[in-house]
Amino acid sequence: MVTTLPTALPHTSEAAARRRESAVRARVAELEDLFGDPSDPANPAGYTALLEADRAAVPFAAGEALLDEFGIVDEYVPRALGGRLDAMDTLVRVMRPVMRRDVGLAIGHGMTTFMAASDVWATGSDRQREWLAGLLRAGGRAAIAQHETAHSNDFVRSQVTARRGPGGGYLISGGKPLVNNLERAGALVLFCRTDPAPGSRSHSVLLLAPEQLSDAHAAVTARRTPVGLRGCRFAGVEFDDCPVPDGALLGPEGSGIETALRSFQISRTVIAATAVAALDTSLRTAVRIDREQSGGWQGRPTDNSRTGAALTNAFVSLLLYDALAVVAARALHLLPAETSVTSAALKYLMPRVLGETMYDLSIVLGSDFYTREGTRGIFQKHVRDVPVLSLGHAGTVACQATVIPQMPRLARRSWFVEDEAPAGLFRLDGDLPPLRTDRLALACGRDSLSASLLAVAARIEGHGPVERALRALAGLLVEEFRDVRRRVLRLEAAGPATSAQPARFALMDRYTLLLAGAAVLGVWDQARYGSDPFLADPSWAAAALHRICGRLGTRVDALPPECETRLRHEVQLRFSTRTSYDLYSTPIPG
């Protein structure tokens, strides 16, 4: 079934696009206002109450009630089914206030439901889609059971089987030991083996309701409390020839692997792009502590070069990562055939960028890093929660397995010959065409994003020392890209020797960094004549490319001093004006 999630205003006038952007900003502002000042101890949705729930390993009840009041579930339901879902970049923006407050709340209350629902919107029948939309809009939740802990990323090795029953339907056997929100879900999307023979048609997806499961043949196992996301409710389920009707089948039998690989492109992108907000909170916490320690509430923040550099580096990493996040989210609509690479690249970089940035910020916190209470405690909670986002079926190894096999074909047919990506890919707002899930390809042999690296690098004019530095850094990335292409082609010519596998992983790592650099250049190129003076300034883009070159091991000259000054000023300005640290500069409380 071809599924389209219609945008509210497909291909409309500039005035209509502005109205759409205004409506998105209003929804984000409403949610931020509902959350209130997180540092206020009396705020029921503040850090004090949040950390108490975390210590007790229970869901953050005040936060969940607030999201219910806002009607967050409508953000997961397509407009055609009565909700507000029209574009994935909009969903990311609306969910960032939630992730900025609490990673566990974002995942436990909403994103798990969205992941399950995505499979239904993409492959379900009209009846299944309408049933789930009604369930969610009435306050229900959905859970998804794909991987099993015994097999980690290898979700195809499912031990849950569904065989045809003698009277029709299916008989399910086996277990899924770790399913988020299982006990609270009114719908379960279950990935299972329907054909014992190996191959791409061996698995299917079932959409189940609790009332379809016989108590004698299905049992929920004990709840697990993880180190991170302690407020999420993880439990397992065991099936013993549990009968379910034919109508439970989601999509054609044997389409489970294809369904999962397509839906990963959406869920990887949305979750990884939303995670920027957790880093935003961590940076804001570090700036607050820096000011407190230096008397900066009434005076100026510390001039300690090590502390200042840590804050600036964290800010640059956040912007670098967010540029790729924006591009990946918009690519789902504009370049759906190419998103298997962009979504995997974003999810692959998430633990690296966020982990390194948390380490940078720990320099500022010092011993406060271990604090679990008050405004400082949220940093330690994010340190525990954020890594969990990179685990499971869509983790690092799965992302590598997605990109590495495509690189030889890209090197032969696309790199250095492809046309650059459309300008809309790099804009922070503006209309998008409808999302066509049937156009999400598992591989396509095209890479428009890297072509934009070459195109933008060639048209940087070099006015002033910072822009000249940006031009030089962009040129270095182009040469790095040439070297990656040469090495990929050389490995392909040598054949699939086992000894060459480590080199393939290293080249994939370099390639994802180059894609991030292309995203940075594209976003800056679109913003340099726009209304945001900071994004129009080449300082942030030069600093981001400088950081990428450092990760690539490329020798680079020091940035002009005015670049560092501009970034340090922006870090302090955004803290003082209560503005988010991501590319959107959203007003936030507290």
Residue for token pair 């709340």: 105
Instruction: State the DSSP string of 146-175.
Output: ---TTTTT-TTS---EEEE-TTSSEEEEEE
For every one of its 590 residues, what pLDDT tens digit does the chain have, with 9 covering 90 and above?
445 554 443 444 677 778 889 999 999 999 999 999 999 999 999 999 999 999 999 999 999 999 999 999 999 999 999 999 999 999 999 999 999 999 999 999 989 999 999 999 999 999 999 999 999 999 999 999 986 554 445 556 668 999 999 989 999 999 998 899 988 999 999 999 999 988 889 999 999 998 778 788 998 887 777 777 888 888 899 999 999 999 999 999 999 999 998 999 999 999 999 999 999 999 999 999 998 887 654 444 445 677 889 999 999 999 999 999 999 999 999 999 999 999 999 999 998 888 888 888 988 888 777 777 777 888 889 888 888 877 654 578 889 989 999 999 999 999 999 999 999 999 998 889 999 999 999 999 999 999 999 999 999 999 999 999 999 999 999 999 999 999 999 999 888 765 668 899 999 999 999 999 999 999 999 999 999 999 999 999 999 999 999 999 999 999 999 999 999 999 999 999 999 999 999 999 97
What distance lies between CA 111 and its chain's CA centroid?
Answer: 10
DSSP classification of residue 46: S
Six-digit token string for 148: 């099993």
Six-digit token string for 410: 């890209």
What is the DSSP pairing of strand 187-193 with strand 142-145? parallel
Best CATH choice for the domain 1-253 from the list 2.60.40.1580, 2.130.10.10, 2.40.110.10, 3.90.180.10: 2.40.110.10
Q: Which helix (H) or strand (E) holds 442?
A: none
Every domain range in the chain assigned CATH 2.40.110.10: 1-253
- Listed in sequence order, the residues at least 6 apart from 396 whose beta carbon sits closer than 8 Å to its beta carbon are 347, 348, 351, 390
Give the separation between CA 510 and CA 533, rounded to whole angstroms. Answer: 31
CA-nearest of 120, 98, 237, 223 to 172 is 237
Asked if residues 548 and 540 have their Cβ atoms less than 8 Å apart, the reply is no
Asked if residues 586 and 32 have their Cβ atoms less than 8 Å apart, the reply is yes
Give the separation between CA 499 and CA 445, rounded to whole angstroms. Answer: 25
Give the separation between CA 200 and CA 203, rounded to whole angstroms. Answer: 7
| Residue 95 CB coordination number (10 Å) | 25
Q: Which helix (H) or strand (E) holds 13?
A: none
| Residue 506 CB coordination number (10 Å) | 12
| Residue 69 CB coordination number (10 Å) | 9
Measure the CA angle with vertex 578, ends 574 and 581; round to 5°. Answer: 45
- Listed in sequence order, the residues at least 6 apart from 13 whose beta carbon sits closer than 8 Å to its beta carbon are none
DSSP classification of residue 211: G
Give the separation between CA 348 and CA 354, rounded to whole angstroms. Answer: 11
